[in-house]
Structure 1
Amino acid sequence: MTRQVASTTALVLGFLMVMMLGGRLIRYFGIAAEGGLDVSLLFTIIGYNLPYFLELILPLAFFIALMLVFGRLYVDQEMAVINASGISRGKLARLMTPLILALFVGEAALSIVGKPWGVRSSETVWQQQALSSAFDLIRPNEFISSGDYNLYVGSLSDDKKQLQDVVLIQTQEIGKSGNDDRSNNNSDSDMPALPKAMIERAGNVGSKDTITLAKRAEQVDNGSSGITQLDLFQGRRYEVGAGSLKYNQVSFDRYRITLTESSKEVVTENNIETQPIGPLWQAATGGTPVANVDALRAAKGELGYRFALPWLMIIAPMLAVPLAQVRPRQGRWLRLFPSVLLFVSCALGIISLKNAVSKGSVSVWAYAWVIVGFMILALYLNWASRIQHRLRFREPAGNSTGDESQTPSTTGGQA
């Protein structure tokens, strides 16, 4: 029985995975055909996204497998034989406890550890790929955008690692303040001074431009850390305040800038899904600082979501055992689709609570209420028919003997 449920779960899981990944593969192949993605990284990204898909597909596949296996037992009259031998359907379901516990642990690992790791690794690959694509677009004497920077290169090497005559412009939004009107004229470098007209046009209201000039630059190899840096040599750095004719000037022999950074240590509502369980727990309980109140709510919603999703593995057999019961001429497909909709509504309830808790509409304990509510519904479906059957056929004590004593005399008198 357990082996049959496990094999059916594997088959349904494979079918659903092919359906879910089909559209994603087509989109990735389109991006690779346009040159926005390296073909060698295609299956790497798919592998990182597998926990994201398995998190929701695995409970559904397990529920469908239970419906198919138990439905066949009812249609083929095997359940009647099993019940006649003294084994109830509840005991039959309890025989699958090792499989249920194994799937519960697997789902918990996917939800708590696997999915955040996969999303975080996938985002790192996309960041590196985006930067590589940006550097592939570098053309001499042309500006390109890379993150928050606008990059200009006079010439570059064949491998595009060595850049010559580099100009970097970064705009930062700031408040209006007169403290930035400072000037430092430094002439220790051989680089020519930035024209005054360019400085006057660079500043925008409410912003500060940082303009960096360098004779050459090199890309820094940081491996797979997700941080992309650039070393600038023999140059000057100008800070131009908004609406001001004064500027700061600093000369340097070597200056390192970061074009793209790895995920921030401070928990925000934008990087909740990529946070490991440790920092997420500390952020939700107030152990570590968060960006704002919205980030705290989002951390609580994500934490509750990760701990609530594995309970679908417990709810699945509790619902499947009574819902799979069919009459001999009904067929096992009659209740499959309504039962799947009922189970999907449970999963959608948990998913919708994630957004509701993040907005502060409900408490994080709403996850527990949803899980307990569906468990109570499953218990009702399991025991309602038995209770109604016993109440329907229960007769008051003493009525049967009185009726039997009166019946013979009446019939005898008529005869």
Structure 2
Amino acid sequence: MILFRYLTREVLLTMTAVAGILLLVIMGSRFIRYFSSAAEGDIPLNILGSLMLFHLPGFMELILPLAFFLGILLAYGQLYMNSEITVMVACGVSPTHLLKVTLLPAIVVAVLVGVCSLWLTPLGAYNTETMLEEQRSRLDVSILAPGRFQEFGQGRTAYISGFSSDGTEMENVFVNEMGNTAEGEHHYVTRAAQGYQELRDDTGSRFLVLENGERYGVTPGRFGAEKLMFERYTLRLGATGRVEAVESLEYATTPALLANPDPRAQAQWQWRAGLPLMVFILALMAQPLSRVNPRQGRFAKLLPAVFLYVAYLSLLLAAVDMIGSGGWSSTLGVWPVHGLFLVLGLMLLWHSQRKGMR
């Protein structure tokens, strides 16, 4: 029991450190992308946190298998460097017992990956797409950034110089609208000293209320122009809008995919179900790959192991694409890829045991 706790702690601590670094890099890259979109006015800043949270399960289902694989390699490699496994073997710990100790934490990691891949990831992807679709359907001036000309729906372009101290009103508002009349294309240019958005709960409509300004109407090719002075002018932005139903196999639940005979649906659920299986196969390959000579250093087999993981993941993705396009039987599916690397892991394990743990 003491040996089990020691080995499990070493593997899980190393896995946590690797997973934290990988998650920081990947989420940082995605956050920068979303932050750039928010700076350009495509999405409001207040939904960035929700978007990142919804993407977290999708990141974890790919990060955890790799982190666990590297955790075993680095933790056991250090034990070989310190000759601790040599002492364990001298005390009667067989390679089979060491494999059992390795597979027990693999069960915990596989359960976490399965929860993410089978449930949380499609749910998060659905919520992300629903939120983005809602933002696209809303004509909301809250996405406007000071000092920029930005489009916000229905052919409107707006510019504001800033917000009031409490952030409820816009200052120096400029709005350009284009419309079609019997005489041709017509332009309306509205300028106001202040403006704010108003939502009417009874109708669900939103309005841009402008105060103290002028409105000009111009038709290209005509010398005349219309001018309107106002103290208060209201532009109807539209209703809150119905969010279109998000329909994609990526967002479908796993039971729905199982009941769908479409090859793309079969490929999608096999991808989800194969990720927890991938954890056990990687653990099987990691144990023999972690055995290094103290003179080589514990990083001696790290690069070949990473190449092996990349090949595994690439073949899985290629199989999913081929099944979805009809180039590969959905009955066979991705299972030959898992079988290939399972056989490779067993061969590596057999070779390591035959050679002996010295």
Q: Same fold (TM over 0.5)?
A: yes
Aligned equivalents of 2:290, 2:207: Cα separation in 1 = 68
Change (3 A) 1:30 1:363: same
Contact 1:153 1:163 in 2 (8 A): no
Structure 1 CA distance for aligned equivalents of residues 278 and 51 of structure 2: 27
| 2:344 is the counterpart of 1:377 | yes
Counterpart-to-counterpart distance in 2, 1:41 and 1:157 = 21
1:317 corresponds to which residue? 283
Contact 2:79/2:85 (CA < 8 Å) preserved in 1?
yes
Q: Give 1:262's aligned residue.
A: 245
- Paired residue type of 2:198: D
> What residue is the counterpart of 1:77 in the other structure?
83
Could you say which residue in structure 1 is the equivalent of 2:104?
98
CA distance in 2, matches of 1:81, 1:331: 18
Equivalences for 1:107-186 in 2 at 5 Å? 107-133=113-139, 137=152, 139=156, 142-143=177-178, 158-159=197-198, 161-162=205-206
Residue in structure 2 matched with residue 5 of structure 1 by the alignment: 11
2:335 is aligned to 368
Amino acid at match of 1:381: L
Distance across 1 between alignment mates of 2:140 and 2:264: 33
Task: Work out the percentage of aligned pairs sharing the same amino acid.
Answer: 30
Query: How far is the alpha carbon of 1:19 from its aligned partner?
Result: 1.0
Please tell me the residue identity of whatever aligns with 1:83: V
Equivalent position amino acid for 2:300 in 1: L
Q: Deviations over 1:35-60 (max 9, x none)?
A: 22211111110000111111111100
In the alignment, what sits opposite 2:70?
Answer: 64
1:70, 1:368 → 2: CA distance? 29
Which amino acid in the other structure matches residue 47 of structure 1? Answer: L
One-letter identity of the residue aligned with 1:18: L
1:142 aligned counterpart, secondary structure: strand
Q: Is the 8 A contact 1:67 1:321 kept in 2?
A: yes
Q: Residue 164 of structure 2 aligns with which residue?
A: none
Question: Are 2:319 and 1:336 equivalent residues in the alignment?
Answer: no
Q: Could you give the per-residue CA deviations for residues 351-396 of structure 1, whole angstroms, max 9, x where no partner exists?
A: 221101001111232411111111111111111254478xxxxxxx
Shift of the 303–62 alpha-carbon distance from structure 1 to 2, 3 Å rule, reads: same
84-93 vs 61-70, which deviates more?
84-93
What TM-score, normalized by structure 1, do the two folds share? 0.62
SS of 2:198's equivalent in the other structure is coil
Q: Which residue of 1 aligns with 2:94?
A: 88
Partners of 1:93 and 1:107 in 2: CA distance:
20
Query: Cα–Cα, structure 1 residues 333 and 272, in superposed 2: closer, same or farther, change >3 Å?
Result: same
Whether the aligned pair in 2 keeps the contact of 1:116 and 1:275 (CA below 8 Å) is yes
1:278 Cα offset (Å): 2.0
1:111-158 deviations in Å (ceiling 9; x for gaps)? 1111111110000111112223567725588359xxxxxxx9999994
Equivalenced residues, count: 278
Q: 1:67 to 1:273 in 2, by over 3 A?
A: same
Deviations 1:62-117 (A, max 9, x none): 00000001101111111111111110233123124432111111111111111111
SS in structure 2 of the partner of residue 331 of structure 1: coil
Gaps of 5+ in 1: 145-151, 165-215, 221-227, 230-259, 265-270, 285-295, 390-415
Cα RMSD (Å): 2.8
Is 1:327 equivalent to 2:333 in the alignment?
Answer: no
Deviations 1:304-361 (A, max 9, x none): 1111111111012111110111112111111011111112211221122110100111
Q: 1:78 to 1:38 in 2, by over 3 A?
A: same
Distance in 2, matches of 1:362 and 1:4, equals 41
Q: Which is greater in Rg?
A: 1
Pair 1:217–1:158, CA change in 2 (3 A)? closer
Cα distance in 2 between the residues matched to 1:100 and 1:163: 56
Structure 1, residues 274-320: CA drift from partner, whole Å, max 9, x if none? 11112211113xxxxxxxxxxx1211111111111111110121111
In the alignment, structure 2 segments of 5+ residues that lack a partner are: 1-6, 143-151, 157-174, 180-186, 200-204, 209-235
TM-score by length of 2: 0.71
AA partner of residue 276 (structure 1): T
In structure 2, how many angstroms separate the alpha carbons of the residues matched to 1:111 and 1:103? Answer: 12
